[in-house]
Structure 1
Protein backbone atom coordinates (compact mmCIF):
# COMPACT_ATOMS: atom_id res chain seq x y z
CA UNK A 1 0.00 0.00 0.00
CA UNK A 2 1.29 3.46 -0.88
CA UNK A 3 0.20 6.64 0.84
CA UNK A 4 -0.27 9.91 -0.96
CA UNK A 5 2.85 12.08 -0.72
CA UNK A 6 2.71 14.03 2.52
CA UNK A 7 5.30 15.62 4.78
CA UNK A 8 5.32 15.12 8.52
CA UNK A 9 4.64 18.83 8.94
CA UNK A 10 1.31 18.48 7.10
CA UNK A 11 0.36 15.51 9.26
CA UNK A 12 1.21 17.46 12.41
CA UNK A 13 -0.78 20.45 11.22
CA UNK A 14 -3.76 18.20 10.54
CA UNK A 15 -3.50 16.64 14.00
CA UNK A 16 -3.41 20.08 15.64
CA UNK A 17 -6.47 21.16 13.63
CA UNK A 18 -8.26 18.01 14.75
CA UNK A 19 -7.44 18.74 18.40
CA UNK A 20 -8.72 22.30 18.04
CA UNK A 21 -11.97 21.06 16.50
CA UNK A 22 -12.39 18.49 19.26
CA UNK A 23 -11.84 21.18 21.88
CA UNK A 24 -14.33 23.51 20.23
CA UNK A 25 -17.03 20.89 19.70
CA UNK A 26 -16.77 19.37 23.19
CA UNK A 27 -15.84 22.60 25.01
CA UNK A 28 -12.39 21.37 26.10
CA UNK A 29 -9.08 23.09 26.70
CA UNK A 30 -6.65 22.49 23.84
CA UNK A 31 -4.24 20.57 26.08
CA UNK A 32 -7.04 18.23 27.16
CA UNK A 33 -8.26 17.80 23.58
CA UNK A 34 -4.73 16.91 22.44
CA UNK A 35 -4.37 14.33 25.20
CA UNK A 36 -7.73 12.71 24.42
CA UNK A 37 -7.04 12.67 20.68
CA UNK A 38 -3.56 11.17 21.08
CA UNK A 39 -4.45 8.50 23.63
CA UNK A 40 -7.84 7.66 22.13
CA UNK A 41 -8.15 7.61 18.33
CA UNK A 42 -4.38 7.65 17.66
CA UNK A 43 -3.55 5.08 20.40
CA UNK A 44 -0.40 6.87 21.53
CA UNK A 45 0.89 7.37 25.08
CA UNK A 46 0.64 11.16 24.86
CA UNK A 47 0.50 14.08 22.45
CA UNK A 48 4.29 14.27 22.57
CA UNK A 49 4.47 10.58 21.65
CA UNK A 50 2.16 11.23 18.67
CA UNK A 51 4.33 14.13 17.51
CA UNK A 52 7.48 12.03 17.81
CA UNK A 53 6.06 9.13 15.82
CA UNK A 54 5.00 11.44 13.00
CA UNK A 55 8.27 13.39 12.84
CA UNK A 56 10.67 10.43 13.14
CA UNK A 57 8.82 8.27 10.62
CA UNK A 58 7.68 5.54 13.04
CA UNK A 59 3.97 6.30 12.67
CA UNK A 60 1.92 3.17 11.97
CA UNK A 61 -0.81 2.87 9.36
CA UNK A 62 -3.53 4.06 11.74
CA UNK A 63 -1.67 7.24 12.69
CA UNK A 64 -0.78 7.99 9.08
CA UNK A 65 -4.32 7.56 7.81
CA UNK A 66 -6.01 9.50 10.62
CA UNK A 67 -3.63 12.41 10.12
CA UNK A 68 -4.44 12.49 6.39
CA UNK A 69 -8.24 12.13 6.50
CA UNK A 70 -8.93 15.57 5.06
CA UNK A 71 -6.96 14.86 1.85
CA UNK A 72 -6.74 11.11 1.29
CA UNK A 73 -9.69 9.02 -0.01
CA UNK A 74 -8.19 5.88 1.55
CA UNK A 75 -7.93 7.68 4.87
CA UNK A 76 -11.58 8.76 4.68
CA UNK A 77 -12.55 5.15 4.04
CA UNK A 78 -10.48 4.10 7.06
CA UNK A 79 -12.25 6.67 9.24
CA UNK A 80 -15.67 5.47 8.11
CA UNK A 81 -14.77 1.86 8.83
CA UNK A 82 -13.39 2.62 12.30
CA UNK A 83 -15.82 5.34 13.36
CA UNK A 84 -17.41 3.23 16.10
CA UNK A 85 -14.19 2.42 17.93
CA UNK A 86 -12.96 6.03 17.57
CA UNK A 87 -16.22 7.30 19.07
CA UNK A 88 -15.89 4.78 21.89
CA UNK A 89 -12.31 5.82 22.64
CA UNK A 90 -13.36 9.47 22.98
CA UNK A 91 -16.51 8.77 25.00
CA UNK A 92 -14.42 6.76 27.50
CA UNK A 93 -12.02 9.66 27.97
CA UNK A 94 -14.39 12.57 28.43
CA UNK A 95 -17.77 13.01 30.10
CA UNK A 96 -20.16 14.40 27.50
CA UNK A 97 -23.91 14.86 27.25
CA UNK A 98 -23.81 14.06 23.52
CA UNK A 99 -25.69 10.94 22.46
CA UNK A 100 -24.20 8.29 20.20
CA UNK A 101 -25.55 9.92 17.05
CA UNK A 102 -24.26 13.40 17.93
CA UNK A 103 -20.87 12.02 18.96
CA UNK A 104 -20.46 10.27 15.62
CA UNK A 105 -21.18 13.56 13.84
CA UNK A 106 -18.65 15.33 16.09
CA UNK A 107 -15.92 12.76 15.41
CA UNK A 108 -16.53 12.95 11.67
CA UNK A 109 -16.21 16.74 11.77
CA UNK A 110 -13.08 16.56 13.95
CA UNK A 111 -11.20 14.51 11.38
CA UNK A 112 -12.63 15.82 8.11
CA UNK A 113 -13.41 19.42 8.99
CA UNK A 114 -16.87 18.94 7.48
CA UNK A 115 -20.23 18.45 9.08
CA UNK A 116 -22.04 15.27 8.08
CA UNK A 117 -25.55 14.64 9.39
CA UNK A 118 -26.12 11.02 10.35
CA UNK A 119 -29.27 9.02 10.93
CA UNK A 120 -30.39 6.14 13.09
CA UNK A 121 -29.35 3.76 10.31
CA UNK A 122 -25.75 4.99 10.69
CA UNK A 123 -25.76 4.25 14.42
CA UNK A 124 -27.49 0.89 14.00
CA UNK A 125 -26.37 -0.36 10.57
CA UNK A 126 -27.46 -3.89 11.49
CA UNK A 127 -31.13 -2.92 11.49
CA UNK A 128 -32.84 -5.28 9.04
CA UNK A 129 -34.55 -4.14 5.90
CA UNK A 130 -38.22 -4.09 6.72
CA UNK A 131 -41.13 -4.94 4.41
CA UNK A 132 -42.61 -1.45 4.50
CA UNK A 133 -46.13 -1.08 3.12
CA UNK A 134 -47.57 2.31 2.11
CA UNK A 135 -50.61 3.32 4.15
CA UNK A 136 -51.96 5.35 1.20
CA UNK A 137 -52.72 8.34 3.38
CA UNK A 138 -52.72 11.65 1.55
CA UNK A 139 -51.38 12.62 -1.89
CA UNK A 140 -48.22 10.51 -1.51
CA UNK A 141 -48.90 6.87 -0.54
CA UNK A 142 -45.52 6.65 1.25
CA UNK A 143 -46.10 9.59 3.59
CA UNK A 144 -47.10 7.01 6.20
CA UNK A 145 -45.89 3.42 6.06
CA UNK A 146 -46.21 0.37 8.26
CA UNK A 147 -44.37 -2.90 8.75
CA UNK A 148 -44.10 -5.79 11.17
CA UNK A 149 -41.05 -7.16 12.91
CA UNK A 150 -40.47 -10.08 15.26
CA UNK A 151 -38.25 -9.43 18.30
CA UNK A 152 -37.49 -12.53 20.38
CA UNK A 153 -40.71 -14.10 19.18
CA UNK A 154 -42.88 -11.06 19.93
CA UNK A 155 -44.46 -9.31 16.96
CA UNK A 156 -44.37 -5.52 16.77
CA UNK A 157 -46.24 -3.23 14.40
CA UNK A 158 -44.11 -0.31 13.23
CA UNK A 159 -45.69 2.90 11.98
CA UNK A 160 -43.43 5.32 10.08
CA UNK A 161 -44.46 8.92 9.47
CA UNK A 162 -42.37 11.03 7.09
CA UNK A 163 -41.15 14.26 8.66
CA UNK A 164 -39.64 17.48 7.35
CA UNK A 165 -35.93 17.44 8.24
CA UNK A 166 -33.89 19.52 5.74
CA UNK A 167 -30.53 18.24 6.99
CA UNK A 168 -31.29 14.96 5.20
CA UNK A 169 -32.14 16.50 1.82
CA UNK A 170 -29.84 16.19 -1.18
CA UNK A 171 -29.95 19.66 -2.68
CA UNK A 172 -29.51 20.31 -6.41
CA UNK A 173 -27.03 23.12 -5.78
CA UNK A 174 -24.40 23.79 -3.15
CA UNK A 175 -25.76 25.23 0.08
CA UNK A 176 -23.35 27.41 2.06
CA UNK A 177 -25.42 27.60 5.25
CA UNK A 178 -26.56 25.00 7.76
CA UNK A 179 -29.66 23.21 6.37
CA UNK A 180 -31.19 23.36 9.86
CA UNK A 181 -31.73 27.09 9.22
CA UNK A 182 -34.62 26.01 7.00
CA UNK A 183 -36.47 24.51 9.94
CA UNK A 184 -39.44 26.42 11.40
CA UNK A 185 -37.64 26.89 14.73
CA UNK A 186 -39.92 26.40 17.71
CA UNK A 187 -42.73 24.97 15.61
CA UNK A 188 -44.07 21.43 15.75
CA UNK A 189 -42.36 18.79 13.62
CA UNK A 190 -44.14 18.77 10.25
CA UNK A 191 -45.40 15.73 8.37
CA UNK A 192 -44.35 15.67 4.70
CA UNK A 193 -47.62 14.51 3.20
CA UNK A 194 -46.74 15.38 -0.40
CA UNK A 195 -43.76 14.57 -2.60
CA UNK A 196 -40.55 15.40 -0.65
CA UNK A 197 -39.17 17.16 -3.73
CA UNK A 198 -41.53 20.10 -3.16
CA UNK A 199 -40.34 20.40 0.43
CA UNK A 200 -36.71 20.17 -0.63
CA UNK A 201 -37.21 22.87 -3.25
CA UNK A 202 -38.82 25.17 -0.66
CA UNK A 203 -35.91 24.65 1.72
CA UNK A 204 -33.36 25.16 -1.05
CA UNK A 205 -34.98 28.42 -2.17
CA UNK A 206 -34.88 29.74 1.39
CA UNK A 207 -31.29 28.62 2.04
CA UNK A 208 -30.11 30.04 -1.30
CA UNK A 209 -31.54 33.51 -0.66
CA UNK A 210 -28.96 36.27 -0.31
CA UNK A 211 -27.87 37.10 3.23
CA UNK A 212 -29.22 40.62 2.85
CA UNK A 213 -32.58 39.47 1.47
CA UNK A 214 -34.65 40.31 4.53
CA UNK A 215 -37.86 39.50 2.66
CA UNK A 216 -36.94 35.82 2.22
CA UNK A 217 -39.46 33.56 3.90
CA UNK A 218 -39.61 29.82 4.41
CA UNK A 219 -42.65 28.81 2.35
CA UNK A 220 -43.26 25.13 3.03
CA UNK A 221 -46.06 23.25 1.25
CA UNK A 222 -49.45 23.48 2.93
CA UNK A 223 -51.73 20.49 2.46
CA UNK A 224 -55.42 20.26 3.08
CA UNK A 225 -56.03 17.20 5.24
CA UNK A 226 -58.89 14.82 4.67
CA UNK A 227 -60.47 13.03 7.63
CA UNK A 228 -58.03 10.09 7.63
CA UNK A 229 -54.99 12.38 7.33
CA UNK A 230 -56.28 14.60 10.13
CA UNK A 231 -56.77 11.60 12.42
CA UNK A 232 -53.24 10.41 11.81
CA UNK A 233 -51.83 13.92 12.26
CA UNK A 234 -53.62 14.21 15.61
CA UNK A 235 -52.28 10.82 16.71
CA UNK A 236 -48.79 11.71 15.50
CA UNK A 237 -48.74 14.94 17.53
CA UNK A 238 -49.67 13.03 20.68
CA UNK A 239 -47.20 10.26 19.98
CA UNK A 240 -44.37 12.75 19.40
CA UNK A 241 -45.24 14.55 22.64
CA UNK A 242 -44.31 11.36 24.50
CA UNK A 243 -40.71 11.81 23.31
CA UNK A 244 -39.40 14.58 25.57
CA UNK A 245 -38.89 17.74 23.52
CA UNK A 246 -38.65 15.92 20.18
CA UNK A 247 -42.00 17.18 18.91
CA UNK A 248 -40.66 20.70 18.21
CA UNK A 249 -37.87 21.97 15.97
CA UNK A 250 -34.94 22.89 18.19
CA UNK A 251 -31.21 23.56 18.02
CA UNK A 252 -30.68 21.24 21.01
CA UNK A 253 -29.10 18.14 19.49
CA UNK A 254 -29.99 16.09 22.57
CA UNK A 255 -33.70 16.68 22.00
CA UNK A 256 -33.69 16.06 18.27
CA UNK A 257 -35.37 12.93 17.03
CA UNK A 258 -32.99 10.63 15.15
CA UNK A 259 -35.08 9.65 12.12
CA UNK A 260 -35.07 6.47 10.10
CA UNK A 261 -33.91 7.49 6.62
CA UNK A 262 -34.76 5.53 3.50
CA UNK A 263 -35.33 6.26 -0.18
CA UNK A 264 -38.69 7.89 0.57
CA UNK A 265 -37.22 10.34 3.10
CA UNK A 266 -36.72 10.68 6.88
CA UNK A 267 -39.31 9.05 9.14
CA UNK A 268 -40.32 9.09 12.79
CA UNK A 269 -41.09 5.50 13.78
CA UNK A 270 -43.21 4.19 16.63
CA UNK A 271 -43.56 0.50 17.48
CA UNK A 272 -46.40 -1.34 19.22
CA UNK A 273 -46.47 -4.95 20.44
CA UNK A 274 -49.00 -7.26 18.87
CA UNK A 275 -48.81 -10.09 21.37
CA UNK A 276 -48.77 -13.54 19.84
CA UNK A 277 -50.17 -12.54 16.46
CA UNK A 278 -48.23 -13.84 13.50
CA UNK A 279 -46.37 -11.48 11.22
CA UNK A 280 -48.67 -12.46 8.37
CA UNK A 281 -51.69 -11.45 10.42
CA UNK A 282 -50.05 -8.24 11.57
CA UNK A 283 -49.42 -6.93 8.06
CA UNK A 284 -53.00 -5.84 7.51
CA UNK A 285 -54.63 -2.98 5.59
CA UNK A 286 -55.47 -1.13 8.82
CA UNK A 287 -53.03 0.97 10.84
CA UNK A 288 -54.33 0.87 14.42
CA UNK A 289 -52.15 2.66 16.96
CA UNK A 290 -52.50 3.40 20.66
CA UNK A 291 -50.23 5.89 22.47
CA UNK A 292 -51.08 7.55 25.77
CA UNK A 293 -54.81 7.39 25.14
CA UNK A 294 -54.51 8.61 21.54
CA UNK A 295 -55.99 6.50 18.78
CA UNK A 296 -55.97 6.51 15.01
CA UNK A 297 -57.26 4.11 12.39
CA UNK A 298 -56.67 4.03 8.65
CA UNK A 299 -58.45 1.63 6.35
CA UNK A 300 -57.54 1.38 2.72
Structure 2
Protein backbone atom coordinates (compact mmCIF):
# COMPACT_ATOMS: atom_id res chain seq x y z
CA UNK A 1 0.00 0.00 0.00
CA UNK A 2 1.35 3.46 -0.85
CA UNK A 3 2.30 5.91 1.87
CA UNK A 4 3.36 9.53 2.03
CA UNK A 5 4.90 11.78 4.63
CA UNK A 6 2.30 14.43 5.41
CA UNK A 7 2.09 16.87 8.30
CA UNK A 8 5.28 15.30 9.64
CA UNK A 9 3.99 11.71 9.84
CA UNK A 10 3.62 8.68 7.57
CA UNK A 11 0.11 8.18 6.23
CA UNK A 12 -1.00 5.07 4.35
CA UNK A 13 -3.68 5.51 1.74
CA UNK A 14 -5.45 3.88 -1.21
CA UNK A 15 -6.71 5.38 -4.47
CA UNK A 16 -9.52 4.14 -6.70
CA UNK A 17 -10.89 5.51 -9.94
CA UNK A 18 -9.44 7.62 -12.73
CA UNK A 19 -6.64 9.95 -11.50
CA UNK A 20 -7.97 12.56 -13.93
CA UNK A 21 -11.35 12.68 -12.17
CA UNK A 22 -12.14 15.14 -9.34
CA UNK A 23 -10.66 13.97 -6.04
CA UNK A 24 -12.84 12.75 -3.17
CA UNK A 25 -11.15 12.30 0.22
CA UNK A 26 -12.76 9.81 2.63
CA UNK A 27 -11.98 10.33 6.34
CA UNK A 28 -12.85 7.42 8.64
CA UNK A 29 -13.81 7.58 12.31
CA UNK A 30 -12.77 6.63 15.81
CA UNK A 31 -10.36 3.71 15.99
CA UNK A 32 -11.30 2.63 12.47
CA UNK A 33 -9.02 1.67 9.61
CA UNK A 34 -9.57 2.86 6.06
CA UNK A 35 -10.98 -0.59 5.30
CA UNK A 36 -14.14 0.29 7.22
CA UNK A 37 -15.12 2.19 4.06
CA UNK A 38 -16.69 -0.76 2.18
CA UNK A 39 -14.97 -1.59 -1.09
CA UNK A 40 -18.39 -1.55 -2.72
CA UNK A 41 -18.99 2.07 -1.65
CA UNK A 42 -15.53 3.15 -2.81
CA UNK A 43 -16.07 1.45 -6.18
CA UNK A 44 -19.54 3.00 -6.51
CA UNK A 45 -18.15 6.50 -5.89
CA UNK A 46 -15.38 5.88 -8.41
CA UNK A 47 -18.05 4.70 -10.84
CA UNK A 48 -19.78 8.05 -10.42
CA UNK A 49 -16.63 9.71 -11.78
CA UNK A 50 -14.41 10.45 -8.78
CA UNK A 51 -10.82 9.76 -7.83
CA UNK A 52 -11.54 8.24 -4.42
CA UNK A 53 -8.84 8.40 -1.74
CA UNK A 54 -9.22 6.68 1.62
CA UNK A 55 -6.52 6.67 4.28
CA UNK A 56 -5.64 5.48 7.76
CA UNK A 57 -5.85 8.28 10.29
CA UNK A 58 -2.82 8.76 12.53
CA UNK A 59 -2.52 6.18 15.30
CA UNK A 60 -4.52 3.52 13.49
CA UNK A 61 -4.13 0.97 10.72
CA UNK A 62 -0.78 1.28 8.96
CA UNK A 63 -0.24 5.00 9.56
CA UNK A 64 2.10 6.56 12.14
CA UNK A 65 1.67 5.38 15.74
CA UNK A 66 2.30 7.65 18.71
CA UNK A 67 3.77 4.86 20.83
CA UNK A 68 4.25 5.68 24.48
CA UNK A 69 2.37 8.99 24.35
CA UNK A 70 -0.22 8.90 27.12
CA UNK A 71 -3.63 10.51 26.96
CA UNK A 72 -5.50 11.65 30.08
CA UNK A 73 -8.21 9.29 31.32
CA UNK A 74 -11.80 9.64 30.15
CA UNK A 75 -13.13 10.55 33.62
CA UNK A 76 -10.54 13.31 34.05
CA UNK A 77 -11.17 14.70 30.55
CA UNK A 78 -14.93 14.68 31.01
CA UNK A 79 -14.67 16.46 34.37
CA UNK A 80 -12.31 19.09 32.95
CA UNK A 81 -14.64 19.69 30.01
CA UNK A 82 -17.61 20.20 32.34
CA UNK A 83 -15.53 22.77 34.24
CA UNK A 84 -14.76 24.60 31.02
CA UNK A 85 -11.12 23.49 31.03
CA UNK A 86 -9.32 22.11 27.99
CA UNK A 87 -7.33 18.97 28.80
CA UNK A 88 -3.85 18.55 27.36
CA UNK A 89 -3.96 15.79 24.80
CA UNK A 90 -1.37 14.16 22.51
CA UNK A 91 -2.97 15.72 19.44
CA UNK A 92 -6.23 17.36 18.38
CA UNK A 93 -8.88 16.92 15.72
CA UNK A 94 -7.40 20.03 14.09
CA UNK A 95 -4.08 18.18 13.85
CA UNK A 96 -5.88 15.27 12.21
CA UNK A 97 -7.53 17.67 9.77
CA UNK A 98 -4.06 18.94 8.87
CA UNK A 99 -3.08 15.32 8.16
CA UNK A 100 -5.79 15.13 5.50
CA UNK A 101 -4.70 18.40 3.94
CA UNK A 102 -1.10 17.20 4.07
CA UNK A 103 -2.10 14.06 2.19
CA UNK A 104 -3.74 16.18 -0.52
CA UNK A 105 -0.56 18.27 -0.70
CA UNK A 106 1.60 15.17 -1.07
CA UNK A 107 -0.63 13.94 -3.91
CA UNK A 108 -0.57 17.38 -5.61
CA UNK A 109 -4.33 17.74 -5.24
CA UNK A 110 -5.42 21.36 -4.98
CA UNK A 111 -9.08 20.74 -4.12
CA UNK A 112 -11.19 17.75 -3.15
CA UNK A 113 -14.66 16.70 -2.12
CA UNK A 114 -14.38 15.95 1.61
CA UNK A 115 -16.40 13.06 3.10
CA UNK A 116 -16.12 12.22 6.80
CA UNK A 117 -17.82 9.52 8.87
CA UNK A 118 -18.32 9.69 12.67
CA UNK A 119 -15.07 11.10 14.15
CA UNK A 120 -14.04 11.51 10.53
CA UNK A 121 -17.02 13.84 10.18
CA UNK A 122 -15.67 15.93 13.05
CA UNK A 123 -12.25 16.05 11.38
CA UNK A 124 -13.92 16.98 8.10
CA UNK A 125 -15.74 19.83 9.88
CA UNK A 126 -12.34 21.27 10.77
CA UNK A 127 -11.19 20.82 7.17
CA UNK A 128 -14.25 22.62 5.80
CA UNK A 129 -14.02 25.42 8.38
CA UNK A 130 -10.27 26.02 8.25
CA UNK A 131 -9.34 25.06 4.69
CA UNK A 132 -12.37 26.08 2.62
CA UNK A 133 -10.16 26.87 -0.36
CA UNK A 134 -9.24 23.15 -0.52
CA UNK A 135 -12.84 21.88 -0.39
CA UNK A 136 -15.12 21.37 -3.37
CA UNK A 137 -17.87 20.03 -1.11
CA UNK A 138 -18.35 18.53 2.35
CA UNK A 139 -20.42 15.48 3.22
CA UNK A 140 -20.84 14.44 6.85
CA UNK A 141 -21.93 10.90 7.71
CA UNK A 142 -23.34 10.03 11.17
CA UNK A 143 -21.41 12.70 13.06
CA UNK A 144 -22.28 15.55 15.41
CA UNK A 145 -21.54 19.05 16.72
CA UNK A 146 -20.03 18.29 20.12
CA UNK A 147 -22.92 20.01 21.89
CA UNK A 148 -23.01 18.34 25.34
CA UNK A 149 -26.77 18.89 25.59
CA UNK A 150 -27.58 16.62 22.67
CA UNK A 151 -28.97 13.15 23.41
CA UNK A 152 -26.13 10.78 24.36
CA UNK A 153 -25.25 7.44 22.87
CA UNK A 154 -27.22 4.48 24.11
CA UNK A 155 -25.51 2.96 27.10
CA UNK A 156 -24.90 -0.40 25.46
CA UNK A 157 -23.43 1.23 22.34
CA UNK A 158 -20.97 3.35 24.31
CA UNK A 159 -20.04 0.42 26.52
CA UNK A 160 -19.32 -1.76 23.49
CA UNK A 161 -17.17 0.97 21.95
CA UNK A 162 -14.90 1.52 24.96
CA UNK A 163 -14.68 -2.10 26.19
CA UNK A 164 -11.40 -3.78 25.33
CA UNK A 165 -11.21 -7.42 24.19
CA UNK A 166 -10.43 -10.02 26.86
CA UNK A 167 -7.24 -11.09 25.08
CA UNK A 168 -5.24 -10.55 21.89
CA UNK A 169 -6.12 -13.98 20.51
CA UNK A 170 -7.31 -13.54 16.92
CA UNK A 171 -10.62 -15.35 17.42
CA UNK A 172 -11.34 -13.30 20.55
CA UNK A 173 -10.60 -10.08 18.66
CA UNK A 174 -12.86 -11.13 15.79
CA UNK A 175 -15.72 -12.02 18.15
CA UNK A 176 -15.26 -8.70 19.95
CA UNK A 177 -15.34 -6.80 16.64
CA UNK A 178 -18.52 -8.60 15.59
CA UNK A 179 -20.13 -7.79 18.95
CA UNK A 180 -19.30 -4.09 18.47
CA UNK A 181 -20.55 -4.07 14.89
CA UNK A 182 -23.83 -5.72 15.88
CA UNK A 183 -24.35 -3.35 18.82
CA UNK A 184 -23.89 -0.11 16.90
CA UNK A 185 -25.01 -1.36 13.48
CA UNK A 186 -28.20 -0.85 11.51
CA UNK A 187 -31.28 -2.60 12.88
CA UNK A 188 -32.93 -2.30 9.49
CA UNK A 189 -29.92 -3.62 7.55
CA UNK A 190 -28.16 -6.34 9.57
CA UNK A 191 -24.91 -7.50 8.00
CA UNK A 192 -24.77 -11.19 7.00
CA UNK A 193 -22.73 -13.18 9.51
CA UNK A 194 -20.22 -14.55 6.99
CA UNK A 195 -19.52 -11.13 5.46
CA UNK A 196 -19.18 -9.49 8.85
CA UNK A 197 -16.85 -12.19 10.17
CA UNK A 198 -14.66 -12.10 7.06
CA UNK A 199 -14.33 -8.30 7.11
CA UNK A 200 -13.60 -8.27 10.83
CA UNK A 201 -10.91 -10.95 10.55
CA UNK A 202 -9.29 -9.14 7.63
CA UNK A 203 -9.23 -5.93 9.68
CA UNK A 204 -7.68 -7.67 12.69
CA UNK A 205 -4.98 -9.25 10.56
CA UNK A 206 -4.21 -5.94 8.86
CA UNK A 207 -3.65 -4.12 12.16
CA UNK A 208 -4.59 -4.35 15.81
CA UNK A 209 -3.49 -1.36 17.85
CA UNK A 210 -5.70 -0.67 20.90
CA UNK A 211 -3.62 2.29 22.13
CA UNK A 212 -4.62 4.46 19.17
CA UNK A 213 -8.34 4.75 19.98
CA UNK A 214 -7.50 6.00 23.48
CA UNK A 215 -5.73 8.99 21.96
CA UNK A 216 -8.48 9.40 19.35
CA UNK A 217 -11.03 9.62 22.17
CA UNK A 218 -8.98 12.24 23.99
CA UNK A 219 -8.92 14.36 20.81
CA UNK A 220 -12.71 14.11 20.51
CA UNK A 221 -13.37 15.07 24.14
CA UNK A 222 -10.85 17.93 24.06
CA UNK A 223 -12.45 19.36 20.91
CA UNK A 224 -15.61 20.28 22.79
CA UNK A 225 -18.54 22.12 21.24
CA UNK A 226 -18.01 22.97 17.55
CA UNK A 227 -21.27 24.84 16.88
CA UNK A 228 -19.65 28.25 16.53
CA UNK A 229 -17.02 26.85 14.17
CA UNK A 230 -19.72 25.17 12.10
CA UNK A 231 -21.44 28.51 11.57
CA UNK A 232 -18.35 29.68 9.69
CA UNK A 233 -18.51 26.87 7.12
CA UNK A 234 -19.38 28.11 3.64
CA UNK A 235 -18.51 24.92 1.74
CA UNK A 236 -21.58 23.25 0.16
CA UNK A 237 -22.61 20.71 2.80
CA UNK A 238 -24.63 17.51 2.89
CA UNK A 239 -25.42 15.74 6.18
CA UNK A 240 -26.32 12.03 6.07
CA UNK A 241 -27.54 10.28 9.21
CA UNK A 242 -29.36 7.15 10.26
CA UNK A 243 -32.58 7.58 12.17
CA UNK A 244 -31.71 4.53 14.29
CA UNK A 245 -28.08 5.32 15.13
CA UNK A 246 -27.45 4.12 18.72
CA UNK A 247 -23.94 5.62 19.00
CA UNK A 248 -24.39 9.11 17.53
CA UNK A 249 -28.12 9.88 17.67
CA UNK A 250 -29.68 11.54 14.64
CA UNK A 251 -30.08 14.82 16.54
CA UNK A 252 -26.33 15.35 16.07
CA UNK A 253 -26.72 15.32 12.31
CA UNK A 254 -29.80 17.50 12.42
CA UNK A 255 -28.05 20.10 14.56
CA UNK A 256 -25.02 20.09 12.25
CA UNK A 257 -27.26 20.90 9.30
CA UNK A 258 -28.92 23.67 11.30
CA UNK A 259 -25.56 25.25 12.12
CA UNK A 260 -24.21 25.32 8.54
CA UNK A 261 -25.89 27.80 6.23
CA UNK A 262 -27.50 26.09 3.24
CA UNK A 263 -26.67 22.56 4.43
CA UNK A 264 -28.86 19.72 3.18
CA UNK A 265 -29.97 16.91 5.49
CA UNK A 266 -30.90 13.36 4.49
CA UNK A 267 -31.95 10.83 7.13
CA UNK A 268 -32.60 7.14 6.55
CA UNK A 269 -34.89 4.94 8.69
CA UNK A 270 -33.35 1.71 9.96
CA UNK A 271 -29.79 2.98 9.44
CA UNK A 272 -27.45 2.80 12.43
CA UNK A 273 -23.74 3.52 12.85
CA UNK A 274 -22.30 1.49 9.99
CA UNK A 275 -22.23 1.37 6.20
CA UNK A 276 -24.46 -1.57 5.20
CA UNK A 277 -24.18 -3.14 1.78
CA UNK A 278 -27.88 -2.43 1.12
CA UNK A 279 -27.25 1.31 1.48
CA UNK A 280 -24.15 1.51 -0.72
CA UNK A 281 -26.00 2.61 -3.85
CA UNK A 282 -28.27 5.21 -2.20
CA UNK A 283 -25.38 6.63 -0.14
CA UNK A 284 -23.11 6.79 -3.17
CA UNK A 285 -25.92 8.49 -5.06
CA UNK A 286 -26.39 11.10 -2.33
CA UNK A 287 -22.66 11.80 -1.99
CA UNK A 288 -21.91 11.91 -5.73
CA UNK A 289 -25.07 13.92 -6.47
CA UNK A 290 -24.12 16.50 -3.85
CA UNK A 291 -20.57 16.67 -5.22
CA UNK A 292 -21.81 17.24 -8.77
CA UNK A 293 -24.27 19.90 -7.68
CA UNK A 294 -21.57 21.68 -5.67
CA UNK A 295 -19.34 22.07 -8.72
CA UNK A 296 -21.97 22.87 -11.37
Could you state the TM-score of these two structures normalised by the residue count of structure 1? 0.23
Larger RCO: Structure 1 or Structure 2 (Cα < 8 Å, ≥ 6 residues apart)?
2
Decide which structure has greater helix share. 2
- TM-score scaled by length of structure 2: 0.23
